[in-house]
Amino acid sequence: MSDELDDNQNAEEGEEITPNGSETPEGVPGAGQAGTFSVSGMYREWFLDYASYVILERAVPALYDGLKPVQRRILHSMKDLDDGRYNKVANIIGHTMKYHPHGDASIGDALVQLGQKDLLIDMQGNWGNTLTGDSAAAPRYIEARLSKFASDVVFNPKTTEWQSSYDGRNKEPVFLPVKFPLLLA
C-alpha cells in the first residue's frame, strides 16, 4: 500500500497512472482507457475549488447580515434554544452541529469570538480577554444566551429565507434579516 502511495506522489505532470500506481507504458493497447487517468492539472482545479469554497463559505462575512456562516448558525441555534435562561456553551455547540458540518472546535472558537464582542451574546463565566490574550474557559464551564439587542434586531421569521442544512434534516437561514450594520460594528 505504501509503495502505491509513493508511486502516485512521484508521478510527474502529464504522466498517466493506473489505479495500482504503476506507470502506463506507451504504445500499450488500452492505455488511456478505463483504469487509467491523467493527473496533470487536477491539483490546480481542486485547489482553486477548495480555496473558493473556504473564502465564500467560511472566512468572509456576508454583506447582507455581516455574519460568517458559522456565526449565523450559532445565532440560529441560540434562538432555537432561547428560553431567557443561560445555556452551557457546550450545549449550544452541540445544537449548532445540526447545522454546521465542520466540527465542534470551529463552532466553539466562533462562539467565543462572537461573545467577546459583547453585542449579540450575554455571557456568564470566564470568556477570556482579547486585550491580554487570555483564552476562555472550557465550553462546559461557561454559559451564554442571546442578548436583548440580538433578539430585537437580528431575527424576523416573516422575512427570513430558509435552506436545508448540510445533511437535509434541518432548515437554517440563508441570511438573517439584521436591522443593524453588524459588518461595520
The runs of H, that is alpha helices, within the chain are 2-9, 42-54, 69-81, 89-96, 104-116, 148-153
Chain-centre distance for alpha carbon 139: 19
Which of 173, 151, 3 has its CA nearest to residue 82? 151
- Does residue 141 carry a catalytic annotation? yes
CA distance 25 to 29: 9
The residue assigned the cell 445533511 is: 167
Query: Are the C-beta atoms of residues 78 and 86 closer than 8 Å to each other?
Result: no
Candidate list 43, 50, 53, 141, residue with the active-site label: 141
Q: Which residues are catalytic?
A: 141
